[in-house]
Amino acid sequence: MKITKTWQKAKKLYLCFKPQDADKLTYTLEDELEMFLHESIGSSIKDSNGFYWCKHNMDITLAMWREDLIAGNLFKFELLTDPLFEDHLEWLENWLNNIYVPENNLQYRYDTYKKEQELMHEECQKLIDYLEEEKKKGLVSVSWTLTHEQASRLTPQVAKEMLAMLTAPVAEDPDFF
């Protein structure tokens, strides 16, 4: 039996969900045919077939994504912008279009995201302002720059902790000199 072009495309998608620590799995031409036959006619498959486990991981992941999308814990754009799926965007868009996401969940998720972004911006801006003031006073000897990209990785809590650490009074150590 010959493996179809459709299955060849599916195989590439399955490999996006390849188990990371699966040393004993194999991905040979024999494994491809075995998986194709398993999916086509229900034939048996050996435990070491890597394509089987990729498909298994994909099924579990898609089920979790569906739940997270419906609950408002995941945005469609987060999946569509993942570089892992660049070559599978058409499939991903079709899959996503079959999931009903309640509008109120989307709005809640968006509102929460906006609030988090605003809070993060406020806290990071406080930190940047503090560092700039210290620099003007000559109290910061290292050139502190916090790019937008770096700041976007900070959580509000981290920015608060950094600011608290930098502004905390320093006890003088008599043995320092």
- pLDDT tens for 43-91 read 999 999 999 999 999 999 999 999 988 887 888 888 888 888 888 988 9
Q: Which of 7-16, 45-54, 65-74, 166-175 has the lowest mean pLDDT?
A: 166-175
Q: What is the pLDDT of residue 65?
A: 93
Do the beta carbons of residue 76 and residue 69 sit within 8 Å?
yes
Across-strand partners of 26?
Answer: 49
Please, where are the H alpha helices in 15-102?
A: 29-41, 50-71, 76-80, 89-97
- CA-CA distance, 117 to 69, in Å (whole number)? 20
Do the beta carbons of residue 80 and residue 89 sit within 8 Å?
yes
Do the beta carbons of residue 125 and residue 91 sit within 8 Å?
no
Do the beta carbons of residue 88 and residue 16 sit within 8 Å?
yes
- CA-CA distance, 45 to 52, in Å (whole number)? 8
The type of residue at 40 is S
Tokens (6 digits) for 6: 């459709």
* Cα 66 from chain centroid (whole Å): 15
User: What letter would DSSP give residue 26?
Assistant: B
- pLDDT tens for 93-111 read 889 888 877 666 656 666 7
* pTM > 0.85: yes or no: no
